[in-house]
A and B are shown apart, each in its own frame.
Chain A
Amino acid sequence: MWTWFHKFASPPHAYRLLGNLAPWFGWPALALILLAAWWGLVKAPADYQQGDAFRILYVHAPSAWMSMFIYVAMAVAAGVGLIWRIKLAHAAAAASAPIGASFTFLALATGSIWGKPMWGTWWVWDARLTSELILLFLYLGYMALRSSFDDPQRADRASAVLAIVGVINVPIIHYSVEWWTTLHQPASVTKLDKPSIAIEMLIPLFIMIVGFQLYYGWAVSRRLRGEILRRERNATWLKEGI
């Protein structure tokens, strides 16, 4: 197992493998996202209460899910990099952060657009929106710390510690924000709580989540290849191979 691991973690092999993998993520992602978009926007029935406005859910919920998934994936990659000193894992964490931050921003933007017809305002200090906002701050802090070091190895290891500290804090932040809103607000703003979502609305949502996951796989392979090129720019295998 360890020889396989080290072989995979060697930059030339990883570079080639990621190049081969990317289309296997990219095309299914495109197909599934298009299918889910058609299913969710056209075929699924309109909500009896929110009408067609609920359809933004098909972008909002998967982005929110991805924003948390990528943070955890990033922290796991950072932990692997820190413990076994695998540079490729650090590079994967570095490649994931901007994608995760983009999904977080997308979740916030769609949540705010959804809030306008539902709540009458662009922004409500709702628990989910607020903890998503704090997650965006965590991503931005991680990227700011990474970019403030000149030495890439130090940037890798310092930001890895931050990612691990952050991932321990994410559940604390999530629950504290949830309790904060339940303590402050009357329960009248819970219009968005889906009592029980109909199955024909749920299927496109699941397809969209799988599509987003595959998109992440595609995007991270592409970015990781770029990251490897940047880090290995002086290596001999690059000069010989390409």
Chain B
Amino acid sequence: MQRTAISSAAGLVFRRDLTLAWRRWDEVAQPLIFYVVVTTLFPLATTPDLSQLREISGGVVWVAALLASLLALESLFRSDVEDGTMEQWVLSGQPLGWLLLAKVASHWVLTGLPLVIMSPVVGTALGLPFSAWGTLVLSLLLGTATLSVLGGIGAALTVGVRRGSVLLSLLVLPLAMPLLIFGSRAVGMVMDGDSPAGPLQLLAAIFFLTLSLGPLAMSAAIRISVES
């Protein structure tokens, strides 16, 4: 029997998920709409004054992005576990971590990336200056990617659980707090005229740490969920 190379197996998973999502694009759009709706709540709840909103704009965009990506994560592995696809992956002899990472990557392209692209528009509506756009986008790129892997661990753990979405948020949000701190701080620093390099580098460090250890935890969690 000929074995498929790891890279092409992961590529197949990646493409399959993109195709599936393309056929149900309205589900993909929901987190993005949620993101815009949540950011609308903050001016309504606090003040319509742009000069005051500007102070919290970085934090608001970051909190909304965290919540929107969490919302999308809940269904990450569910259908594959329910219809038995995941069992076949576990048995396939391919390194499960790579397959799951490919799945998380396609998920990020579908939910994280649109949020990142949308964020300058949302930020501007909250009074975020043009000079902070680059930092906001860069910090969210690193942040949402890290969150996708962290959330992938949470989703793998809660895949067979009733009321999994609340539990998932409870598990992942405390772990995501460092991302929120450094991400919104980077935006704040660039608005104060400082260099945001420090927090951005820390975000990148957390991203690579999560990227290297995350697949191990994800595949261990999926094995537990599938085997029992």
Contact surface of A with B, Cβ cutoff 8 Å? 82, 134, 137-138, 140-141, 144-145, 148-149, 151, 153-154, 157-158, 161-162, 164-166, 168-169, 172-173, 176-177, 179-180, 183
Distance to closest chain B CB from A229 (angstroms): 23
Cβ of B163 under 8 Å from chain A:
yes
Stretch from B19-27, B49-57, B103-111, B153-161 at the A interface: B153-161
Describe B's contact surface by its main secondary structure: helix
Q: How large is the interface on B (under 10, 10 to 19, 20 to 34, 35 or more residues)?
A: 20 to 34
Q: Which residues of A contact B174 (CB under 8 A)?
A: 134, 137-138, 141, 173
In the complex, 12 of the A-B residue pairs with CB atoms within 8 angstroms, ordered by the A residue number, are A137-B174, A144-B167, A145-B157, A145-B167, A161-B217, A161-B220, A162-B157, A165-B175, A172-B206, A176-B181, A179-B181, A180-B185
- Cβ contact of A158, chosen from B181, B202, B209, B225, cutoff 8 A: B225
Collect the chain B residues with CB atoms within 8 Å of residue A166's CB.
Answer: 175
Query: Would B175 and A161 count as touching, CB distance under 8 A?
Result: no
**Which residues of B134-171 have CB atoms within 8 Å of chain A's CB atoms?**
153, 157-158, 161-163, 167, 170-171
List the A residue with the shortest CB-CB distance to B172: A141
CA separation between A177 and B177, bound complex, in Å? 9
In the complex formed, the residue of B with least CB distance to A183 is B185
Nearest residue (CB) in A for B182 is A176
Extra 19 A-B pairs, beta carbons < 8 Å, given A141-B171, A180-B181, A183-B185: A138-B175, A140-B170, A141-B167, A148-B161, A148-B163, A148-B167, A151-B228, A157-B228, A158-B225, A162-B157, A162-B171, A165-B175, A166-B175, A168-B213, A172-B178, A176-B177, A176-B178, A176-B181, A176-B182
Assess whether B122 is interfacial by the CB under 8 Å rule.
no
Asked if B224 is an interface residue, CB under 8 A from chain A, the answer is: yes
Nearest opposing residue in chain B for A168, CB measure: B213
Q: Does B173 contact A (CB under 8 A)?
A: yes
Complex contact B228–A153 (CB within 8 A): yes
B178-220 contact mask (Cβ, 8 Å, vs A): 1 or 0: 1001100100000000000000001000100100010001001
- Cβ contact within 8 Å between B185 and A145: no
* B63 on the A face (CB < 8 A): no
Alpha-carbon gap, A19 to B128, bound state (A): 63
